[in-house]
Amino acid sequence: MSTSRITVAGGDLFHIAAQQLGDATQWIRIAQLNGLSDPVLTGVTTLQLPALDPAAGGGVAIQ
């Protein structure tokens, strides 16, 4: 599985997941990969993005 990186200035993981992964519900995959619990970003942040996986989905974290 290959990952990539992006740098963003603020925003939220919902929009990033929609733009980069094609599915806003996959925001949790970005959060988990980067050790984040809050989908809202402040300041300049560099994020690792998971590989595209159309089968992945759901915005609910496994507890």
Residue 38 lies in a domain: yes
> What CATH number should be reported for the domain holding residue 21?
3.10.350
pLDDT (tens, 9 = 90+) of the chain, 63 residues, equals: 567 999 999 999 999 999 999 999 999 999 999 999 999 999 999 999 999 887 786 655 544
Identify the domain containing residue 15 by its residue range.
Answer: 4-49
What pLDDT sits at residue 19? 96
Residue 63 lies in a domain: no
What pLDDT sits at residue 63? 45
Neighbours of 5 (CB within 10 A): 8
pTM of the model as a whole: 0.83
Q: What is the count of structural domains for the chain?
A: 1
Residue 56 lies in a domain: no
- Nearest residue to 54 via CA among 26, 13, 31: 26
What pLDDT sits at residue 60? 54
Residue 23 lies in a domain: yes
What pLDDT sits at residue 53? 83
Residue 37 lies in a domain: yes
Round to whole Å and give the CA distance between 63 and 53: 21
